[in-house]
Structure 1
Amino acid sequence: MSSTAFSSVYEVCSYAAGVAGNLFAFVLFLSPIPTFQRIIRNGSTEQFSGMPYIYALLNCLICLWYGTPLVTPGVILVATVNSIGAVFQFIYISIFIRYAENRVKLKMLGFLVSIFSIFGLIVFVSLRFLDSPSRQLFVGYLSVASLISMFASPLLIINLVIKMRSVEYMPFSLSLATFLMSLAFFVYGMFKHDAFIYVPNGIGTVLGTVQLALYTYFSSASQEESRHPLIDP
């Protein structure tokens, strides 16, 4: 195979991995819809927290900035997925604020303003004071920290599953989509030789694998118990 043909195949595989990551991420972005349908139907945020969507919005904005040509040329699929994610998170936060109690509403508005202020400061500093290589390092490290913190959040769910010996709070479709998205962007980052992409998504892939393994184990255990229930003497 000639070097030109190899290069073409390499680029196609890289693009395919990035597109797959976008598609799997889209499934994740849709996953909170049932929660917000309930909020709208009941006219109240009840006991739901809006903080996961605040954190997700900040993560999407930072990773969106990292994927733009001004920071990292050649990884535009990182920018596309996070731009879509930012829109979804903003919509979710807006709905949450609409139906939250006044005290919570003001708190969420404050967080929202803070998020955009932080993002604006990151953009300003990276453009005003840093050259291109330094800019990529600065935003890259921020994106890695943000992604790792996002991927670490399922650890609470994993702990709950082990403690309760039940997968009730860990939907299979969500765990699978998380695993596939992380795996796709891990491969995409490897193709692009970009550690700021493949390192956090490699961690996400490992955590996703753990979630799927736990789901398989406790689902099998639950089915076994249902077939052979314990009978008190």
Structure 2
Amino acid sequence: MVSPDMIRNVVGIVGNVISFGLFLSPVPTFWRIIKNKNVQDFKADPYLATLLNCMLWVFYGLPIVHPNSILVVTINGIGLVIETCLSHHLLPLLRQEEQEEDGSAAEALFMAAVALAVLLGAHTHQRRSLIVSILCVIFDTIMYSSPLTVMSQVVKTKSVEYMPLLLSVVSFLNGLNWTSYALICFDIFITIPNGLGMLFAAVQLILYVIYYRTTPKKQNKNLELPTVTPVAKDTSVAPISKDNDVNGSTASHVTIDITIQP
């Protein structure tokens, strides 16, 4: 007979795979930003919230806080590296450089303050893990609720152009998986943020279905070719002249002459 612990372990492994996909899901959006050299109306809130969330969970899984949590450290460590690359090294190259740098720096300072306060103020693993787990619940909830700014924009503009579908789908699957994991052997610290995350992601998917048809479609620009206008003259010779344009380059001008017979 399959035990609940075995089922929970399997769900946890699947959750790690989905979480890895969640960390990678912003890549197409960032590629679009880099390709267009413009952040347009994409919001950085979800990525910065995920970055801080990964910092907290890595800290939580360290032996000095909560021993025997290597899977927590590994998956969130991978997420920390990915989100750092996306949020700190790519977006600062574009239009919102100053805001992104300020956000990343503020999160790093906050994390340093939390680590210092926990290590100096709590002297047992139980107290440290309790304090950090509460912070993880709070910032997990913030991470999952951060797309609310994007959802309000979707309702206002009736367009889902700047709400990435892949991120919404993976967020829903991730919340569903970890909520199931927490309910097998009830864990309130995992249930609350992931249950809310599943709910917020479900709302995003509903909005996507509603406003997909009203989203403006991209139009291809037509290539306009230059036209040559015939010029009537009294000679049948067709001279070709070359003049320099204002930038110093050479352009060829062809004059078509038409002889008019009486």
* Per-residue deviation, residues 6-54 of structure 1 (Å, max 9, x unmatched): 5xx3222112222222222222222222333344445565666655433
Instruction: Give the match for residue 126 of structure 1.
Output: 118
Measured on the aligned residues, the alpha-carbon RMSD in Å equals: 3.0
Q: Check whether the contact 2:150–2:162 (CA below 8 A) recurs between aligned residues.
A: yes
Contact 1:71–1:136, Cα closer than 8 Å, also in 2:
yes
The reply on whether 1:66 has 2:60 as its aligned counterpart is yes
The one-letter amino acid paired with 2:50 is A
For 1:105-131, what per-residue CA distance to the aligned partner results, in whole angstroms no more than 9, with x for missing partners? 565444433322322222222222202
Cross-structure match for 1:188:
181
Please identify the structure whose Cα radius of gyration is greater. 2
Q: In 2 relative to 1, CA 65–181 (structure 1 residues): closer, same or farther, beyond 3 Å?
A: same
**Cα distance in 1 between the residues matched to 2:26 and 2:20:** 11
1:62–1:142 CA contact under 8 A, matched in 2: yes
Q: 1:194 to 1:129 in 2, by over 3 A?
A: same
Match for residue 155 of structure 1 among 148, 153, 157? 148
Is residue 115 from structure 1 mapped to residue 124 from structure 2 by the alignment? no
Higher fraction of strand: 2
Q: CA 1:167–1:50 in 2, change beyond 3 Å: closer, same or farther?
A: closer
Q: Which residue identity does 2:108 align to in structure 1?
A: F
Residue 135 of structure 1 and its aligned partner are, at CA, apart by: 1.1
Indicate the structure with greater helix content: 1
Q: 1:177–1:108: structure 2 CA closer, same or farther, 3 Å change rule?
A: closer
Which ranges of structure 1 fall in alignment gaps of 5 or more residues? 224-233
User: Which residue does 1:77 correspond to in 2?
Assistant: 71
**TM-score, length of structure 1 as denominator length:** 0.74
TM value normalised by structure 2: 0.67
1:170-193: CA deviations, max 9, x gaps?
343322211110111112223453
Tell me: higher relative CO, structure 1 or 2? Use CA pairs within 8 A at least 6 residues apart. 1
Query: Once the 2 structures are TM-superposed, how far is the Cα of residue 87 of structure 1 from its aligned partner?
Result: 0.4
Instruction: Label 1:88 to 1:44 Cα distance change in 2 as closer, same or farther (>3 A).
Output: same
Amino acid at match of 2:117: V
Letter in 2 for 1:12: M
Distance in 2, Cα, partners of 1:217 & 1:51? 23
SS for the counterpart of 2:190 is: helix
Please name the residue that 1:231 is paired with: none
Question: What are the Cα deviations for residues 58-82 of structure 1, in whole angstroms up to 9, with x where unaligned?
Answer: 1210122223343334554333322
Q: Helix, strand or coil for the counterpart of 1:28?
A: helix
Unmatched tracts of structure 2, length 5 or more: 215-262
Q: Per-residue displacement from partner, 1:175-227 (whole Å, max 9, x unpaired)?
A: 221111011111222345332111110111122222333434555xx49xxxx
**Residue of 48, 51, 60 corresponding to 1:54:** 48
- The yes-or-no answer on 1:21 pairing with 2:12 is no
